[in-house]
Structure 1
């Protein structure tokens, strides 16, 4: 009997650790695919696997399950997963996984099917994967023939929860105080940080059509109340471009050495926007005014771009920064 699972299920490895290369990939998976116009959904049946690798080599067994995304959507809401089958290298699933989508959208999309060993401590082991471009499959509502597919080694794709959140291109400039009457204490006389969020690339698609409506929020930490700045919303894209400059005034260069620019990218919604990724720009010292500050945690390109901005007041510096999957201990965290 087939069981139908159209909802998104949370997997243990999303919260814990996944391991690649611990088990040699082998075996096959049997799948069938069809489109149901009555449901406006793609239906994937996961029938079974055979000759899987043994994650427990001593007992020659695994506890396999199958996880599927309809690319380019790699969000948590777009994930589908079968039940885990215990102590077998030849699991029988016979489960139906459904993905709401218009037929006209499917020609450029791909089913990403991965097989995992479920570890009781959350350290799940990769057993293989299959990529099925839907352009190569005849989709109709008739009974689809089941086909065997050899499991492959890991591809370059990243699932939600890994580092594959995309990249953001940012330009920064510190504008020094204006020359003039030294007694004048206007906000402009203290200097300002200019931020141009130019574009993002390869964001996580959180909508069923493989897209998103992204916008950015920025804060100049530790101030979260008065420093909030936002970009415009760009509709139906995972590679948005923005124009305009965000201005953080009334700040000196010395103060910026002790502060951090937090940038988060969101999918816009009238009810509840979803966080897509984030970055923090600062000196990476872990301290603010001599005290521990978890948000002073920049590294790599984040810290490098911030240092360039501090070293070149009056000039724009620009760089591409990978978005983090989490901003720990901050105002935003992706779970």
Structure 2
């Protein structure tokens, strides 16, 4: 059969009803690309396989197998309708009919030929009689001669629980067919994905049915209009006692154009009753295919009961930037900085205990810690909210400043709301705000948006261990007093990571503590990376009190890109801390033994060759000692200290002595090599003849290195030495 002729004769043909149940078992294959349309049409028109003649009363298995194989290569045919079968025919009495079946927004056209008289399938009785009478086929309820059974199609697993298609009965004859693949217009296919708003303007009704009865309400109705489409329902207001209501009201439905094109549109006019659901005054059902070609349409529709309803529909595509925001997943960061001059609400003391509660994304909320007795609080705390950019830009960001009470609820100190729409135009920019509160005072905060892909989000949500290797402190404050304690401290460190806080060991009587201690925190990476890790250094006292020696804090967001990071941070008072932070995904606290850690730590050796000094300062006095010194050298590095022998009565001493320091490489990195030359005295403390500090930053990165120095002392004279470094 020639495909072009079949299409030309379509308008003149008469249709025959049938159900190709055995085609429902065809294996599924992906539809061909739109670009192959011409080749497929040519193949369908010219290939004899696509016009294969199937003979009856028996259908050879080889023909059915070949049919299924060839059809599977052309396209995927899905089971349709509730019966999960491809059903052909809705009209009867034609020699030929053509059915368009929707599939993934494209279509398949099935063309059937006149010699269908001898082959039919089980159908509902009423349909069968109609079709059979047009063909001159006897009523199936009449006695029939024995018939050959149609071979069963191969079973194919189906995701649905629908019943299997009905079996076929062969009555003899032939069937010729062809397939045509016609992809949907690409513009319409893209339009289906558009987000927007369907606006239905219900204008008025005319001459509606009078549904109300009773002395006062007789001959009237209280009509409203209910509209359902795209899985949503909305209604207008009610017009009391009116048969010609004018609503002039617009109801809106948000979604994609495809959702509305593929759904029915149902409009119901209802008489509202005080009791019950109300009486129907008429309804109108249609589809919204008109939106395929235009964005607006007007309707004046006669109701099946009585009267007319006038309404219009309009499709408004949303701002493209909003559509982009729907698919952009990430994290909204809200940094609550500080507040100033807050209202005092506490009954005693004239203070407040303020904290900030932040509401974002139309339903998420989080809050800062409360600061006690403070009208000018500084939180510097970051709150994070996960979602799409669309969630946040379509809802205001609200900050509520509250006073925490021990009994009862919190007391409001004021709130502010910020429009997030500017983030649509520039979501990469961090925005800073200083907003006045409605009651008293102001609040300062910053907002930023961070795009996060699925892989990064999965990494942030993974459980693991944050390990902090607390190495040492340098130049800490001396807070102890007394004959034995003067000039010293007993430092320890409290580390706050996320919602957890842990303490280090106490190192007694030193301002140069070496902890070399590993402290672990379990949790998700996102528990730690959004707020700084805080290090608070204290001096431990015998009576259980503690005195602050300063603090520092660091952000560890870089652990999303690198496994570890080493820090040397200045304290807020005096001195600094050396530590290293590592993230171990998938591990638990306590999994690493001391042996594991030792095997992982690289060791280094620094050899310091103290050679000589020239023209040192003379510090000794007296008849025998005048004009001389008894010098020795103290060397400090990596938290360790050693000294040379003493050379008596010499201003040009030659020590020619090597001091060796071994430790973890991390304990050397970031430190300086320190020398101090002393004059040894028999009575009293030794007197300093000068000190020197040398940076060896470039050496620590090398496996082996050596350097020689001859440096001038800040007091008088010169000092000669050499160093040799090796990673073990």
TM-score by length of 2: 0.14
- Computing the radius of gyration over CA atoms, which structure comes out larger, 1 or 2? 2
Structure with greater proportional helix content: 2
Structure with greater proportional strand content: 2
TM-score by length of 1: 0.30
- By relative contact order (CA 8 Å, sep 6+), the higher-ranking structure is 1
